[in-house]
A and B are shown apart, each in its own frame.
Chain A
Amino acid sequence: MGLKDELREIAFDSHADYFGIGSVDRWANAPIGHRPNDLLPSAKSVLVLGMRIPEGAIEANMRAFEGQRHGIFSYMLFGYYRLNEMLDKATMKLMRHLEIRHRIATFPNPASVPRDDYMMMGVMSNRHAAVCAGLADFGWSGLALTPEAGPRVRWTTLVIDREIEPDPLYDGPKLCKGCKDCVNICPVSALSREHSVELTIGERVFSYAVLSKTRCRYAVYGLASGSPGRLQAEINDNVYTHGEWLTMLTRDNAWNKTERFAAMCGRCLVNCPVGRDPAYHKTNKSSVQVLGNCNKDI
């Protein structure tokens, strides 16, 4: 069995739903410091894993924004936190396998936290990595869209010092139809309707909306009114600049943080019509039985 098959087997055994490989040249236009070779100079390939967000967790988010605030807790845990933990466990397993069994150098990236909360950036962008590994197309929301689950997938990235055959970039029909439901639904108007970011990955040009990271993060933290966020938080709806955001966070008290656990928004992801086939659950059953132990250790 080749290395790629070996890694794929470990990934699926670790409950990943998506597995893809990108070659490092696809990150040529990524920001300096966030390219695979900045992190591991000898890097040649990047492995990307994805886990589909359960529909039950998406329903929970809907309930929360319909007014059943406590729905957000199921979304935070089963639509975000625990999935990212499972992806991190899978990364740990793959990294150990590559290092111990094959003596191949790696550089791991967290699925979500911890990250640079000052710059509002991760080590590497897992969303961009998903596109670079051929698993997704960009939507206007800037989220990575898959044909089957739309943007409702969590991702993680492992940089590897070994040539592994890259998967082709997504070349199907454009998944995002430009409906801009993501723009309309955003409770803090963080996504631009007109202005876009253009980027080239391999031969392909992608574009997505300019995002006000400050506005976005502010809803994700449950600090915006209109989100099912923290009930007793002192909310200031006029947070637009990075400075205003930092001032607000500095004043954030212990009580405000008590419920803060994971993303409290995710509206653009929940409402995207791509991959949202209402009949999916009734028709598109996998033939493989998932009799998995989700508690398996590394």
Chain B
Amino acid sequence: MEVKEALQKVVSENDIDYLGISSVQRFENVPEGHKPIDLLPSARSVIVLGLRIPSGAIRANDRAFEGLRHAIYSYVNFGYNKVNEHLDFSALAVVRYIERNYGFIAYAIPASWPRDEYLMMGAMSNRYAAVCAGLGEFGWSGFVLTAQDGPRVRWISIITEMEIEPDPLYHGPKLCKGCKKCVDTCPVGALAREESVEVKIGEYRSAYSLRNKALCRSATRGLVRGTPGRLQADIPYSIKTMEEWYELNKKDDPWQRMEIARGNYCYRCMTVCPAGKGEHCE
């Protein structure tokens, strides 16, 4: 059985919706320390898996921001935690499959947690990997847009020594029309309307909005007013810098943390994006 066909079988068995392969060369412009070869020097390929976020979970996020605060728990659970958990286990299945059957090392990046909370960075960007693997393009929000589901997909990547034929980069019609609904809907104004980050992957060129990570993270952690976040938390209206973010976290007490084990409380930019043909948008 051809490698790709075999991988497709493994991921199908784990109900994975998206599978793509990238070469490590496509990551040459990512920050030092976060390239596949920095993490696994013998790396040749990156395997990316994606799982669609169910529309029911997206609906729950909408209800929460309409005022039914408790709906956010359905989103946190089924739109984030369980999706990422599913991706983690699926990646483990792929890692074990590759190590056992082909004898190559496979190094998985967490779908979400744990990550460097101070730098607000994962070990490697799963979004960037998804674009490198041809599964979608960057939207203005910085999310990966897919033709089918827009940005409502979560990703995980696996770096491996095995040489696998890469998939072509996305070359379909542009999915982001630049409507900037993501900018308008952001409860903390974390996305720039004009300033952008340029992306170069081989011949491919793209750009997405410059994002204030500290602001974004304060909303996803439910620490900003206007999100369906933590009711009793002692929270400022907004924070702008990493230092403020760090100080806010230090003061955070166990009660404030009761509701947020893992997960996130925002993702409005993802929820409202019109890209994708999923039932959510119809």
Residues of B within 8 A of A99 (CB): none
Task: Kindly name the residue among B92, B99, B113 whose own CB sees the greatest number of chain A CB atoms within 10 A.
Answer: B92
Q: Which positions 80-135 of chain B face chain A at CB distance < 8 Å?
A: 86, 88-93, 95-97, 99-110, 113-118, 121-123
| A229 shortest CB reach to chain B, Å | 12
Given A54-B95, A70-B122, A294-B93: A258 touches B249 (CB 8 Å cut-off):
yes
Question: Is A292's CB under 8 angstroms from B93's CB?
Answer: yes
Residues of B within 8 A of A285 (CB): 100-103
Give which listed residue, A57, A255, A282, contacts B107 with CB less than 8 A.
A57
Bound-state CA distance A292–B94 (Å) is 9
B10 at the interface (CB under 8 A from A): yes
Residues of B within 8 A of A232 (CB): 118, 246
Question: Is B101's CB under 8 angstroms from A286's CB?
Answer: yes
Interface string of A229-271 (1 = CB under 8 A from B): 0011000000000000000000001110011011000000000
Bound-state CA distance A172–B1 (Å) is 38
B13 at the interface (CB under 8 A from A): yes
Q: Which positions 69-83 of chain A face chain B at CB distance < 8 Å?
A: 69-71, 73-74, 76-78, 82-83
Residues of A within 8 A of B34 (CB): 70
B40 at the interface (CB under 8 A from A): yes
Question: Is B254's CB under 8 angstroms from A82's CB?
Answer: no
A290 at the interface (CB under 8 A from B): yes
Q: Which positions 192-226 of chain B face chain A at CB distance < 8 Å?
A: none
B115 closest partner in A (C-beta)? A73
Residues of A within 8 A of B171 (CB): none
Bound-state CA distance A64–B36 (Å) is 14
User: CB within 8 Å of A: which residues of B?
Assistant: 9-10, 13-15, 33-34, 38-40, 86, 88-93, 95-97, 99-110, 113-118, 121-123, 158-160, 246, 249-254, 256-257
Name 5 interchain pairs, CB-CB below 8 A, sorted by A: A56-B107, A56-B160, A57-B107, A73-B116, A293-B13
| B84 shortest CB reach to chain A, Å | 10
A288 at the interface (CB under 8 A from B): yes
A60 at the interface (CB under 8 A from B): yes
Bound-state CA distance A289–B93 (Å) is 11
Bound-state CA distance A232–B102 (Å) is 41
Give which listed residue, A60, A281, A283, contacts B99 with CB less than 8 A.
A281
Given A59-B105, A295-B86: A74 touches B123 (CB 8 Å cut-off):
yes
Given A73-B115, A77-B114, A86-B92: A255 touches B246 (CB 8 Å cut-off):
yes
Question: Is A294's CB under 8 angstroms from B92's CB?
Answer: yes
Question: Is B101's CB under 8 angstroms from A289's CB?
Answer: yes
Question: Is A254's CB under 8 angstroms from B254's CB?
Answer: yes
Q: Which positions 129-170 of chain A face chain B at CB distance < 8 Å?
A: none
Number of interface residues of A (CB under 8 A): 44
Give which listed residue, A254, A261, A280, contacts B114 with CB less than 8 A.
A261
Question: Is A259's CB under 8 angstroms from B108's CB?
Answer: no
A55 at the interface (CB under 8 A from B): yes
A281 closest partner in B (C-beta)? B103
Question: Is A55's CB under 8 angstroms from B89's CB?
Answer: no
Question: Is B39's CB under 8 angstroms from A71's CB?
Answer: yes
Bound-state CA distance A262–B88 (Å) is 15
User: CB within 8 Å of B: which residues of A?
Assistant: 15, 54-57, 59-60, 63, 68-71, 73-74, 76-78, 82-83, 86, 231-232, 253-255, 258-259, 261-262, 280-286, 288-295
Question: Is A292's CB under 8 angstroms from B13's CB?
Answer: yes
Bound-state CA distance A65–B96 (Å) is 24
Bound-state CA distance A86–B253 (Å) is 31
Given A56-B107, A74-B108, A78-B91: A69 touches B116 (CB 8 Å cut-off):
yes
* Sample of 17 more A-B contacts, CB < 8 Å, known A231-B118, A261-B114: A56-B40, A56-B95, A57-B95, A57-B108, A73-B109, A78-B108, A86-B89, A254-B251, A255-B249, A255-B250, A259-B114, A280-B103, A286-B101, A289-B101, A291-B10, A293-B15, A294-B89
Residues of A within 8 A of B101 (CB): 285-286, 289-290
Bound-state CA distance A295–B49 (Å) is 14
Residues of A within 8 A of B250 (CB): 253-255
Question: Is B13's CB under 8 angstroms from A70's CB?
Answer: no
Question: Is A254's CB under 8 angstroms from B96's CB?
Answer: no
Bound-state CA distance A292–B96 (Å) is 9
Across the A-B interface, the 5 shortest Cβ-Cβ residue pairs: A56-B107, A255-B249, A294-B93, A261-B114, A254-B252
B118 closest partner in A (C-beta)? A231
Given A293-B13, A294-B89: A56 touches B118 (CB 8 Å cut-off):
no
Residues of B within 8 A of A293 (CB): 13-15, 93
Residues of B within 8 A of A261 (CB): 113-114
Residues of A within 8 A of B105 (CB): 55-56, 59, 281
Question: Is A56's CB under 8 angstroms from B99's CB?
Answer: yes
Residues of B within 8 A of A295 (CB): 14-15, 86, 89-90, 93
